[in-house]
A and B are shown apart, each in its own frame.
Chain A
Amino acid sequence: MGTRVGIIGVGQTHHASKRLDCSGVELIAEAVTRALDDAELSIDDIDAFIIGNMDHFENINYVDMWATDGLGSFMKPVLKVTTGGTTGTTVAASAFYHVASGLFDVVMGVGWEKNSESDTQAAITTCSNPILERDAFAGAIGPLASEYSMYMKTYGATEEDAAIVAARDRNNALLNPYAHNRMKVTVQDVMNSPMLSYPIKLLDMCPRSDGSCAVIFASERAAKKLCPRPAWVHASVVRQDYTHFGDLEWEYMPTLERASAEAYKIAGITKPFREIDVAELYLPSSVTGVKWMDSLWLCERGGAPKLIRSGATHLDGEFPVNPSGGVIATNPIGATALIRVGEAAWQIMGRAVGRQIPNAKKALATGFGGCSWSSVMILGADLP
């Protein structure tokens, strides 16, 4: 059986639509340096590195090799993992397994993206099957929009429900100095923003950002020595779906249901809504911030609109979601899900300055990507 694992340091860049002040490697170095500072460690303390991004967004092949100078991984073990949108949680999971395996003591996971260096939609379109789907159904917005229109029809959710989520996350971002889009918006502003793909409007949708995030994982022994209040990893679960968009279940989110159910089971959580103090969810669009509440077992299927309208997911609610501002405020794709884990860890560590949920003892972080697959990580203040 593996060793228990805790997060002992988190660093992220100031995210922006264009970080013209630095190269990709420099962006990575910024996050790495901040994570080391956060953990009060030096690069020599890191035993192994994991890095992830999406290749075609910067056109760098063998990123794990290219990033050596920024990572500080010279003459150290490095592994590259990549799974599309979930890349960040894939990096976190990989760092977790590196340590839990007993092979490494202190490990750094890094996610990054410089979306400004390419045409993101042109690059992401190539994720669709070139023989069946690429010409007809591709890009990120279409599938998400189809998903929500179906949910609206089935359960009576509204465009306003999504707008409440968008306004919530965007206003939370005002509290987060690292966030990319920081603007005060009202539900009406969201409703009035230009329609992208019915029912998704501009302010419902995530931006594309330049940014990087680094998270340091350590074994129980090292974490206790190095960190006053580590964020212990209680569960890390991924669930896969089918490969083709046409095969997917659109009415609910099966992979998130399955991944969170398994994660709750591993973490001993039976009433997630009550037991979890804060959540950092990978919501690529505000519409998923409505629909996926069902899939996280926070309410009955179809209960999300009521839950969102109640204000329970706001900063002062019973189940605060995305104090950081979430993905619709900041989206450096390869880092996005790792930022969820990093922000959740900071909440547990008491370091989420300005957006801290008081006495957060259990946090939920999720990743979404690929062909609608989900990853879930649960962190806690107490040893698992």
Chain B
Amino acid sequence: MERVAVIGVGQTKYEKGKKQNFSEMVYEVTTKALKDAEITTREIDNIVSVSSDFWDGRTISCMAIQDAAGAFGKDTSTVEGDGTFGALYGMMRILSGSFGVTLVVAHHKGSESSMSGITNTAFDPLVERKLGIDAISSAALQARRYMTATGVTERQCALVSVKNHGNAMRNPLAQLPMEITVEDVMNSEVLASPLKKLDCSPVTDGACALVLAAEREAKKLSTNKKRVWLMGVGHCSDAYRLGDRDLADTRALEEASESAYEMAGVGPEEIDLAEVYDAFSYMELMWLEGLGLCEEGMSGEYMERGYFNMGGEIPINPSGGRLSSNPVQVAGLSEMAECVLQLRGKAGKRQVKGAKIALAHGINGMCGQSHCVFILGR
């Protein structure tokens, strides 16, 4: 099978209340990604945008940003969901042999919409929606279930928040770089027990673009220093209703990551760093187990031992993670951008030394119903 490389990345600063509109953000990251790849729109033969009509408050939300992405006269498509799914589709389009270079671009402005209202509409209007449940309250149900099933504690979850906000101190693009303690997290306002404010990700605006290229094009257009290969990918969805699942079970993630590992021909022990979906602190611990990066039920203890810290056995979320910046549709794509920077050795003060293989993980739906896992390598 032909290989696909990331040859360019572009990101905005992640922050709340950006003055730019959707297309201005997309223009910024498209231009940055093209510049990073040292190409022009002429080399881009197709575009996959990622947007959501709900978050954008607009039917056919992709219409808003097509000019800004340079889509005029091109073959385009739009994925709705996390950015990793957009990258997955962009990669497929190249593997099909139909295209050589794909621009994948995602945008999100959390500050212009109501998180609670929008995630409430992810629940079935015929059953759960009327209860008023949303992303935070459903995550709280999952958090307690996970803690009950594994014995992971709230303090161990708080350590995730401490670590990721701390990592964000070394990422100039992150929204919430903070030096905080476990006590700060534990004492922050309870939103929905056991989740406290500092267990939850912020409202964020931002955009991210990746330029993907077929092996032949990549070798023609870019140098070895810039190229990072998409070695493997997998995606899988669990059941819809929360009650149909054991919320502590990570079976869909296990399926997705097994596909990714198999395609990449590597095992979890070969991963040098990972960007793991951490919209809520407990999620990082739970997904680490689902990804096979930690034995089941052990991630809390490993966290205490500093295993996932910068300089630990396997640094998790060196970018600061979603806890530090969570542009929802963009989240997974920005994880991939971070992996690319790390693998190029260009992650500045947060560089994981000698990183050769990285993993990025995005989720879709409530309580991680669907997962997409990418393995990237030098």
Contacts and interface: CB of A to CB of B under 8 A. Distances in A.
A239 B74 contact: yes
B79 interface: yes
Contacts of A192: none
B78 interface: yes
Interface string A58-89: 01111111111100011111111111100000
A63, A83, A96, A123 pick with most chain B CB within 10 angstroms: A83
A66 B89 contact: no
Tell me the dominant secondary structure on chain A's binding face: mixed
B236 A61 contact: no
B138 interface: no
Contacts of A193: none
Contacts of A241: 72-73
Interface string B111-125: 000000011011011
A198 interface: no
B54 A75 contact: no
A50 to B, nearest CB: 9
A1 B215 CA distance: 11
B96 A100 contact: yes
Contacts of B255: 75
Interface string B250-291: 011001100000000000000000000000000000000000
Nearest to A80: B80
Contact of A370 (B63, B256, B364, B365): B63
A86 B98 CA distance: 19
B67 A242 contact: yes
Given A68-B237, A126-B58, A2 B63 contact: no
Contacts of B59: 54-56, 84, 123-127
Contacts of B80: 55, 63-64, 80-82
A197 interface: no
Interface in A42-64: 54-56, 59-64
A65 B58 CA distance: 20
B57 interface: yes
B326 to A, nearest CB: 16
Contact of A77 (B63, B78, B237, B366): B237
B63 to A, nearest CB: 5
Given A56-B53, A75-B252, A94-B89, A243 B122 contact: no
A359 interface: no
Interface in B159-192: none
Nearest to A59: B121
Nearest to B85: A79
A79 B79 CA distance: 7
- Name the residue in A1, A242, A373 with the highest tally of chain B Cβ atoms < 10 Å from its Cβ: A373
B71 interface: yes
B122 A240 contact: no
B351 interface: no
B125 to A, nearest CB: 7
B52 interface: yes
B304 to A, nearest CB: 33
Interface in B227-250: 233-240
A65 B370 contact: yes
Given A79-B235, A242-B72, A371-B63, 16 more contacts: A60-B125, A61-B119, A64-B81, A64-B365, A65-B369, A77-B235, A77-B236, A97-B98, A100-B92, A100-B96, A102-B95, A238-B75, A240-B66, A241-B73, A243-B63, A371-B60
10 contacts: A55-B59, A63-B80, A65-B369, A82-B53, A97-B93, A102-B95, A238-B76, A240-B72, A241-B72, A370-B63
